[in-house]
Homo-oligomer: A and B are copies of this chain.
Amino acid sequence: MEKIKQLLRSSNFKLTPQREVVLEVLLENEEGHLSADDVYMLVKKKVPEIGLATVYRTLELLSELNIIQKLYFGENVARYEFRSDSDDHHHHHLECINCGKVEEIDEDWLGIIEEKVEKQYDFKVIDHRLTFQGICSRCKTKDN
């Protein structure tokens, strides 16, 4: 948290209460895959006079600073999550097509595959995104 504030300051952005609250909400829901609107709702509980546009602008800003990243799952709604600290990216998603829940898993699986991509396709890999769609354990047992 402190280093994020540091980063903001050093990039000549001002540390406003609104930005702090957005960060706070993101930290409190780290596994949440929140949409801009989700963040807005949560932030509004703490600072009711905040505007939706400010939330969007803050999320945009944090994305540009590479603090968070914007993802799309099955819908056309952007969701945001913290970018992992390390520059290797071993972090994937399990998306339940029944209940819509998105779970995170953290495994180092794609290292060899990335190498193959770089060699076979002459493609410089910077990041990747891996999502599995299926039925989560809870929905499997509920059997609906």
Contact = CB atoms under 8 A, between A and B. Distances in A.
Given A76-B77, A129-B129, A122 B137 contact: yes
Best-buried of A73, A76, A96 by chain B (most CB within 10 Å): A76
Interface residues of A, number: 38
A25 interface: no
A67 interface: no
Interface in A66-95: 70, 72-78, 94
Contacts of A124: 134-135, 140
Count this chain's copies in the assembly. Answer: 2
A133 interface: yes
B109 A123 contact: no
Given A72-B76, A76-B77, A117-B94, A132 B123 contact: yes
Contacts of A77: 76
A114 interface: yes
12 contacts: A72-B72, A72-B73, A72-B74, A76-B76, A94-B123, A96-B123, A105-B121, A122-B137, A122-B140, A123-B132, A123-B135, A129-B131
